[in-house]
Amino acid sequence: MSYDPNNVFAKILRGELPKFQVYEDARTLAFMDVMPQAEGHTLIIPKLAASQDILDVPVEDLEAVIATTQKVARAVKTAMDAPGVMVLQLSGAPAGQTVFHLHFHVIPRFHGLELKFHARSMEAPEKLKANADKIKAALAA
Protein backbone atom coordinates (compact mmCIF):
# COMPACT_ATOMS: atom_id res chain seq x y z
CA MET A 1 0.00 0.00 0.00
CA SER A 2 1.39 3.42 -0.92
CA TYR A 3 0.78 6.77 0.76
CA ASP A 4 -2.64 8.22 -0.09
CA PRO A 5 -2.35 12.01 -0.55
CA ASN A 6 -6.11 12.28 0.02
CA ASN A 7 -6.09 10.92 3.57
CA VAL A 8 -7.78 13.12 6.16
CA PHE A 9 -4.50 14.42 7.66
CA ALA A 10 -3.10 15.34 4.24
CA LYS A 11 -6.33 17.26 3.64
CA ILE A 12 -5.92 19.04 6.99
CA LEU A 13 -2.34 19.99 6.06
CA ARG A 14 -3.56 21.44 2.74
CA GLY A 15 -6.28 23.43 4.52
CA GLU A 16 -9.08 21.43 2.89
CA LEU A 17 -10.51 20.32 6.25
CA PRO A 18 -10.82 22.34 9.46
CA LYS A 19 -8.74 21.70 12.57
CA PHE A 20 -8.44 22.94 16.14
CA GLN A 21 -4.74 23.65 16.09
CA VAL A 22 -2.63 23.43 19.23
CA TYR A 23 0.91 23.87 17.86
CA GLU A 24 2.76 24.23 14.58
CA ASP A 25 6.37 24.60 13.53
CA ALA A 26 8.20 24.13 10.22
CA ARG A 27 8.03 20.32 10.37
CA THR A 28 5.07 19.37 12.60
CA LEU A 29 1.45 20.13 13.36
CA ALA A 30 -0.55 19.33 16.52
CA PHE A 31 -4.33 19.51 16.66
CA MET A 32 -7.31 18.15 18.59
CA ASP A 33 -8.66 14.70 17.76
CA VAL A 34 -12.29 15.23 16.68
CA MET A 35 -13.23 11.83 18.13
CA PRO A 36 -11.29 12.01 21.40
CA GLN A 37 -10.74 9.11 23.74
CA ALA A 38 -10.46 11.63 26.59
CA GLU A 39 -10.83 15.39 26.93
CA GLY A 40 -7.65 16.96 25.58
CA HIS A 41 -6.78 14.10 23.17
CA THR A 42 -4.29 15.66 20.74
CA LEU A 43 -2.69 14.40 17.51
CA ILE A 44 0.79 15.25 16.25
CA ILE A 45 1.77 14.74 12.60
CA PRO A 46 4.75 15.48 10.36
CA LYS A 47 4.02 18.16 7.77
CA LEU A 48 6.65 17.34 5.15
CA ALA A 49 6.89 13.56 5.06
CA ALA A 50 4.39 11.58 2.99
CA SER A 51 4.73 8.70 5.44
CA GLN A 52 2.08 6.19 6.36
CA ASP A 53 3.59 5.15 9.67
CA ILE A 54 6.69 5.00 11.83
CA LEU A 55 8.26 2.37 9.57
CA ASP A 56 8.60 4.58 6.49
CA VAL A 57 9.20 8.07 7.86
CA PRO A 58 12.59 9.73 7.28
CA VAL A 59 14.56 9.95 10.54
CA GLU A 60 14.68 13.76 10.45
CA ASP A 61 10.89 13.96 10.34
CA LEU A 62 10.55 11.34 13.06
CA GLU A 63 12.91 13.31 15.30
CA ALA A 64 10.84 16.47 14.74
CA VAL A 65 7.52 14.76 15.42
CA ILE A 66 8.86 13.08 18.58
CA ALA A 67 10.18 16.42 19.90
CA THR A 68 6.79 18.03 19.26
CA THR A 69 5.00 15.06 20.83
CA GLN A 70 7.03 15.50 24.01
CA LYS A 71 6.32 19.25 24.10
CA VAL A 72 2.60 18.73 23.49
CA ALA A 73 2.38 15.87 26.03
CA ARG A 74 3.75 18.15 28.74
CA ALA A 75 1.23 20.84 27.82
CA VAL A 76 -1.70 18.40 27.66
CA LYS A 77 -0.81 17.00 31.09
CA THR A 78 -0.70 20.52 32.55
CA ALA A 79 -3.73 21.90 30.72
CA MET A 80 -5.99 18.97 31.51
CA ASP A 81 -4.63 18.58 35.08
CA ALA A 82 -4.01 14.92 34.26
CA PRO A 83 -1.94 12.66 36.52
CA GLY A 84 -0.61 10.90 33.40
CA VAL A 85 -0.57 10.90 29.63
CA MET A 86 -0.54 8.08 27.15
CA VAL A 87 1.47 8.48 23.95
CA LEU A 88 0.28 6.09 21.27
CA GLN A 89 1.37 5.37 17.69
CA LEU A 90 -0.27 2.66 15.60
CA SER A 91 1.47 1.31 12.49
CA GLY A 92 -0.67 -0.65 10.04
CA ALA A 93 -4.30 -1.72 9.96
CA PRO A 94 -3.67 -4.86 12.07
CA ALA A 95 -2.32 -2.55 14.80
CA GLY A 96 -5.49 -0.46 14.66
CA GLN A 97 -4.30 2.38 12.43
CA THR A 98 -7.20 3.95 10.52
CA VAL A 99 -5.59 7.09 9.04
CA PHE A 100 -2.50 6.18 7.06
CA HIS A 101 -0.44 9.30 7.70
CA LEU A 102 2.06 8.97 10.56
CA HIS A 103 0.57 10.39 13.73
CA PHE A 104 1.03 10.22 17.46
CA HIS A 105 -1.81 10.41 19.96
CA VAL A 106 -1.38 12.22 23.27
CA ILE A 107 -4.21 11.20 25.57
CA PRO A 108 -4.58 12.51 29.13
CA ARG A 109 -5.14 9.66 31.58
CA PHE A 110 -7.00 9.63 34.87
CA HIS A 111 -7.46 6.89 37.46
CA GLY A 112 -10.69 4.97 36.99
CA LEU A 113 -11.43 6.30 33.49
CA GLU A 114 -11.92 3.43 31.07
CA LEU A 115 -10.22 3.91 27.72
CA LYS A 116 -11.61 2.48 24.52
CA PHE A 117 -9.22 1.65 21.69
CA HIS A 118 -10.92 4.07 19.29
CA ALA A 119 -13.58 6.61 20.10
CA ARG A 120 -16.50 6.61 17.70
CA SER A 121 -18.37 9.84 18.41
CA MET A 122 -17.53 13.36 17.29
CA GLU A 123 -16.85 15.94 19.99
CA ALA A 124 -18.66 19.29 19.93
CA PRO A 125 -16.55 21.93 18.15
CA GLU A 126 -16.85 24.39 21.03
CA LYS A 127 -15.43 21.80 23.44
CA LEU A 128 -12.54 21.03 21.06
CA LYS A 129 -11.79 24.76 20.77
CA ALA A 130 -11.87 25.23 24.55
CA ASN A 131 -9.48 22.31 25.08
CA ALA A 132 -7.17 23.55 22.30
CA ASP A 133 -7.10 26.97 23.99
CA LYS A 134 -6.15 25.40 27.34
CA ILE A 135 -3.32 23.44 25.73
CA LYS A 136 -2.05 26.47 23.79
CA ALA A 137 -1.99 28.45 27.05
CA ALA A 138 0.04 25.69 28.71
CA LEU A 139 2.47 25.71 25.76
CA ALA A 140 2.89 29.47 26.09
CA ALA A 141 3.58 29.32 29.85
pLDDT digits (tens, 9 = 90+) for 87-133: 999 999 999 899 999 999 999 999 887 766 566 688 999 999 999 99
Asked if the structure places residue 3 within a domain, the reply is: no
Long-range contacts of 13-18 (CB under 8 A, 24+ apart): 13/45, 13/47
User: Has residue 1 been placed in a domain?
Assistant: no
Confirm whether 2 is domain-assigned.
no
Give me the CATH number covering residue 29: 3.30.428.10
Active site residue 103: yes
In a domain, 115, yes or no: yes
Looking at the domain assignment, is residue 21 inside a domain?
Answer: yes
Q: How many domains does the chain have?
A: 1
Query: pTM of the entire structure?
Result: 0.92
Is residue 44 within a helix (H) or strand (E), and if so which, with residue range?
Answer: strand 42-46
Q: Write out pLDDT tens, residues 50-97.
A: 999 999 999 999 999 999 999 999 999 999 999 999 999 999 999 989
Which residue among the candidates 41, 101, 103, 105 is catalytic per the annotation?
103
Domain of residue 19, residue span:
8-140
